[in-house]
Amino acid sequence: MLDSIDYKILSLIQENGKISNTELAEKIGLSLTPCLRRVKKLEDERIVNFYTASLNRKKIGIDVTAFVLIKLTNYKNDTTEQFINAVGNIENIVACYSLSGSYDFILEVVATDLDDYSSIVTKKLGELPGVSGLQTSFVLKDVKPKKLLPIRQG
């Protein structure tokens, strides 16, 4: 069970994954060893999955982001499993979610430009197992780019 200190730690490391243990301990009012012990526990319990850097897509040449709705031909376990495994092998797919409703999955796909996206659709997405249809919506503007989870303060 998480307490208010754990929630403070989660909030701070989510905002800045490079925060030093010294600064973290100072901000939450703990000494270094107990602070480090709590962070390690959060990592061991897989509450903190990994640390990553948020990159500016435009500055690294990714000018196209698309959300692709996927409909599968059937709902057999092997079809779904093959689809999920194939999606995991395509680096341009940066997120994939299983859905309820009219479509079965939504993919977040990135590309350098529209020609690159077109190639991804024909050579990769079009070859995914079990796909009976796809629909693309392009991102026009990134309105809320930071993807921080709301952390309740215990």
Q: In what order do the strands lie in the sheet with 105-111?
A: 93-98, 105-111, 64-72, 131-138
**Pair (9, 80) in one structural domain:** no
Question: Do the domain assignments include residue 148?
Answer: no
Furthest C-alpha separation in the chain: 57
* Owning domain of residue 134: 58-138
| pTM recorded for the entire structure | 0.86
Please tell me the distance from the alpha carbon of residue 107 to that of residue 125, in angstroms, as a whole number.
10
In the chain the beta strands, taken as DSSP E runs, fall at 64-72, 93-98, 105-111, 131-138
CB 106 within 8 A of CB 69: yes
Question: Do the domain assignments include residue 80?
Answer: yes
pLDDT, one tens digit per residue, over 101-124 is 999 999 999 999 999 999 999 999
Q: Residue 61, by phi and psi: left (phi above 0), alpha (psi -120 to 50) or beta? A: left
- Number of domains the chain contains: 2
Question: Do the domain assignments include residue 32?
Answer: yes
**Pair (129, 66) in one structural domain:** yes
CATH of the domain at 24: 1.10.10.10
pLDDT, one tens digit per residue, over 56-80 is 999 999 999 999 999 999 878 788 9
Please tell me the distance from the alpha carbon of residue 1 to that of residue 109, in angstroms, as a whole number.
36
pLDDT, one tens digit per residue, over 18-59 is 999 999 999 999 999 999 999 999 999 999 999 998 899 999
**Pair (89, 28) in one structural domain:** no
Question: Do the domain assignments include residue 13?
Answer: yes
**Pair (62, 132) in one structural domain:** yes
Q: Which residues pair with 137 in a beta bridge?
A: 67
**Pair (62, 36) in one structural domain:** no
Question: Do the domain assignments include residue 51?
Answer: no
Question: Do the domain assignments include residue 151?
Answer: no
